[in-house]
Amino acid sequence: MNKTLKFGALACAIALAGCSQSSNTTHVIAEQTSAAQAVQTYSANTFFDTTSFIGSSFSPSGKKILVSSDESGIYSLYEVDVKTGSKERLTNFEDSTYPVRYFPNDERVLFTKDSGGNERYHVYVREVDGSIKDLTPGDETRAGFAGFTKDGSQFFITSNQRDAKFMDLYRVDSETYEMSPVYQNELGLDVGAISPDGRFIALSKNNTNKDSDTYILDTYKKPLKPQLISKHDDPAQYTPETFSTDGKYLYYSTDAKGEFSQVWRYELATEKHSPALEDEWDVKFIYFSKSGRYQVSGVNADASTKVTILDTRTGKQVAMPTLPNGNLRSVNFSSDEKTMAFYLNSDTSPSNLFVWQVGGISAKQLTNSLSKEINQSNLVQSTIVRFKSFDGLEVPGVLYKPKQASSTNKVPALIWVHGGPGGQSRTGYSATQQHLINHGYAIFAVNNRGSSGYGKTFFHLDDKKHGTDDLQDIVYGKKHLQSLDWVDSEKIGIMGGSYGGFMTAAALAFEPEEFKVGINIFGVTNWVRTLNSIPPWWESFKKALYDEMGDPATDGERHRAISPLFHAKNITKPLMVIQGANDPRVLQVESDELVAAVKANGVPVEYVLFEDEGHGFTKKENRISASNAYLNFLDTYLKESFGPQG
């Protein structure tokens, strides 16, 4: 299970830019002392004129690719012509729609959508004639897609329509959409993978935040009884990934063999386990093309994802054509496996969709997502930096140095805190970050203890120590910034979303003299209330959440002690709070009360509330408004008279 525990803002795509590891900061600091450069600055409207794309599913003919794009201001479905790159819009809702895939044998499409950011996602089908049907109706229903059978005659969905706490598994007829129950989830298990013939279901159960199990359910055997296949003595994570295309093996990830997650495979006939894939970092995913010829895997290598494509017939890695700078993500193959679609992403370039005739000399770029008004050379590439925290622990981070910065033109800076707990700041394009960097703010995205991607020991160092040890990592990240001769050591702020928002408020409340300003983006401020008001569909991993954060029944005193709201009288530095009114994770009342409490101190507070958003902002106009608000707040309270304005 990912330790993020659903607190992190919904990620629409995984950032996959290459970045080399550095074991110390010596050569990094040397590079950072270079002279300042002249740079053209751009508005938030220009940065968000950049288009975001999600999805790379081929149509059965291989002539089209299903994507979701926010070019209209909100994510909608489009078909992209593989030959020409032209797009046809398929949906036009007030809420964002996200692609699942085409049906295997025709051009109907499946997609998901919630209402106003409430995270009650439904599964929809768009017929070839354009009509749309909600397959999982109900105001309180939350549903998800779980896969097609290999012949395409049936597909599977999970839904909590029977019990709000648990996701049951249903089989859906591809022609009639008739639903029939497959597995009634009374044990709090989660569906991880389904065999191509639909016979075997791989299930997982979170026992603690360090331990999980994998089960196999044979739907041909009655009564239905999940069989445990991950017997182990010491705590370890076992998570199903995918079945082999012949249905003989289940591939699963586990950290039982060392610090980092490996992929192993389980042979259903013999019940034997064998290693399949390991690396010096966490292996994050593995899957196969339709026939199984191509294996796609990804490794979380020091805050970037390294994707490998293996030809299983030869056992050799597929040689890719020459491509622009960046890393691959969302690799998919056409049904005949002759064409591959993928995105390429870097710090200075948003994800662009490419297609490649496998074995060909060159790939074709189908999208140009960066605004035509932006010169890419004005954007900033990140550097991986490590520093020592209060107890000597080495802590990594992703550092962005504005082009304006030099030893004679020191710039203000921000510590950026990711969501979670247990998320990770990663390399890759961010319009919000690049907008601030472009206007002269250094950003240091610290991956404090408890972040994912650096081994299970590092991952668990913050368990029940939130707002204390991990907060000190953030403070020491600030000290590292102060050691750089191009940073204005007196002008350092902090900002973050979700858990990062909590850390921002905690920094202002518990280390009130460290940071000059804070921007709290839908952050938890009252852990007592938050942990007692979690959405019902979190039931299956509630125990793991409590192992991470503490059980509200027994740890209420500690939760109160680390909650910024109860210590808001200590906040003396300017604060900005951003909130979505429909957020089911961090309720609006969290932000309302913090704003009122800090205002009572006579401290400048700015509050931006989006009535049509939840936990993360999907509408482009709202993202522009938020980005403008960040910059104006920082220019007013942090930058002051520094540098060019606008």
Read off the pLDDT of each residue in 241-265 and give the average, rounded to a whole number.
97
- Going by pLDDT thresholds of 50, 70 and 90, the confidence category of residue 420 is confident
Strand, helix or coil for residue 426: coil
Alpha carbon distance 13, 539 (integer Å): 26
Domain covering 187-318 assigned CATH 2.120.10.30 in the classification: yes
The reported pLDDT for the residue numbered 235 is 94
**Confidence check: pLDDT of 606 > 90:** yes
Residues of the chain with CATH 2.120.10.30: 187-318
Q: For residue 450, is pLDDT > 50?
A: yes
Query: With contact defined as beta carbons under 8 Å apart, do 182 and 219 qualify?
Result: yes
- The region, left, alpha or beta by phi > 0 then psi within -120 to 50, assigned to residue 385 is beta
DSSP bridge pairs for 191 = 203
Digit-coded pLDDT (tens) for 37-89 = 778 999 999 999 999 999 999 999 999 999 999 999 999 999 999 999 999 99
Q: What DSSP element (H or E) covers 417?
A: strand 411-417
Measure the CA–CA gap between 519 and 634, rounded to whole angstroms: 9
Least confident of 33-47, 111-125, 287-301, 561-575: 33-47
Mean pLDDT score, 172-178:
98
Question: Which whole number is the average pLDDT over 623-638?
Answer: 96
* Residue 277 to residue 284: CA distance in whole angstroms: 11
Per-residue model confidence as pLDDT tens digits over 202-211 = 999 989 889 9
Mean pLDDT of 130-148: 96
Instruction: Provide the pLDDT confidence category of residue 545 given band limits of 50, 70 and 90.
Output: confident
CA dihedral 181, 182, 188, 189 (to 10 degrees): -150
Percentage with pLDDT > 70 across the chain: 93
Q: SS3 breakdown of the chain: % helix, strand, coil, rounded to 5?
A: 20, 35, 50
Q: Which fold has domain 26-45+373-639?
A: Rossmann fold (3.40.50)
pLDDT interval class at 4 (50, 70, 90): very low
Cα-based distances in Å from 454 to 158, 185, 275: 32, 33, 21
What is the structure's pLDDT at 551?
83
Which H, E and C letters describe 212-259, residue by residue? EEEEEEECCCCCCCCEECCCCCCCCCEEEEEECCCCCEEEEEECCCCC
Binned at pLDDT 50, 70 and 90, residue 19 comes out as very low
**Mean pLDDT computed over 407-422:** 95
Does residue 125 carry a pLDDT above 90? yes
Read off the pLDDT of each residue in 390-405 and give the average, rounded to a whole number: 98
Model pLDDT for residues 478-508, shown as the tens digit of each residue: 999 999 999 999 999 999 999 999 999 999 9
Six token digits for residue 639: 């930058």
Comparing C-alpha atoms, which of 71, 9, 40 is closest to residue 434? 40
Outline which parts of the chain fall under CATH 3.40.50.1820: 26-45+373-639
Average pLDDT over the chain reads 91
Name which of 478, 483, 350 is nearest 32 in CA terms: 483
Q: What is the mean pLDDT of residues 444-458?
A: 97
Q: Confidence band (pLDDT; 50, 70, 90) for 35?
A: low
What pLDDT is attached to residue 587? 85
* In the predicted structure, residue 15 carries a pLDDT above the cut 90: no
| pLDDT of 64 | 98
Using 50, 70 and 90 to split pLDDT, how confident is the model at 540? Answer: low
What integer pLDDT is reported at residue 3 of this predicted model?
Answer: 37
Q: How confident is the model at residue 2 (pLDDT cuts 50, 70, 90)?
A: very low
Q: What is the pTM of this model?
A: 0.89
DSSP 441-493: -EEEEE--TT-TTS-HHHHTTTTT-TTTHHHHHHHHHHHHHHTSTTEEEEEEE
